[in-house]
Amino acid sequence: METRSQPARQERGHRGHELDAQLNFAQPMSRALALEALRPWGAEPELYGQGDEIRAARLTGALDPALVTELLRAGLEGGLYRSAELGRRGFLRSGTGFTEWMPWRRNVVVPRTQLERVELKEGLRYLVE
C-alpha cells in the first residue's frame, strides 16, 4: 500500500497599514523610565540605547489615531520628546509572522505647533520637529 504525502499547505500573508513611530526623547533616560513613559501607547516598544542612555523608541502596531495624536501632543508639550517620526506604514506580513515594511511614499515636515496637520494618512511619514 502506497501512501502519498499531502502537499504542504501554504499560509496566506496579510497586508495593510499600521502605525510606525520613532519617538526621540528630549533627555536620555533609564530603561525602566523609558518603558514607564511609553506605557500609555499600549504597544511593545523597541528601545534605542543602553542602560541609562535610552534616547529613542520605536512603536509599531494598530493604534487609534486620536490616541496617537493625544499622546504625541502631551509628550512634545510636556518636554518628554524632542521630535518624532510617525505614520501609517504599509506592510506585508507572511503567514509565519515575518513582516516586510513598504517604503514611505512621502515625508511631511510638521512644526510641533501644528500637530493638527498629522493626519496619519496611509504611506505618509510625518516628521515632527
Phi, psi of 99 (to 5 degrees): -115, 130
- Strand, coil or helix: what is 63? coil
Mean pLDDT, rounded, for 123-129: 96
SS3 percent helix, strand, coil of the chain, rounded to 5, is 25, 40, 35
| pTM attached to this predicted model | 0.85
- Strand, coil or helix: what is 4? coil
Model pLDDT for residues 3-34, shown as the tens digit of each residue: 555 555 556 778 899 999 999 999 999 999 99
Contact 57, 22 (CB under 8 A): yes
Model pLDDT for residues 43-88, shown as the tens digit of each residue: 999 999 988 899 999 999 998 999 999 999 999 999 999 999 999 9
Q: How many Cα atoms sit within 13 Å of 7 on the Cβ side?
A: 3
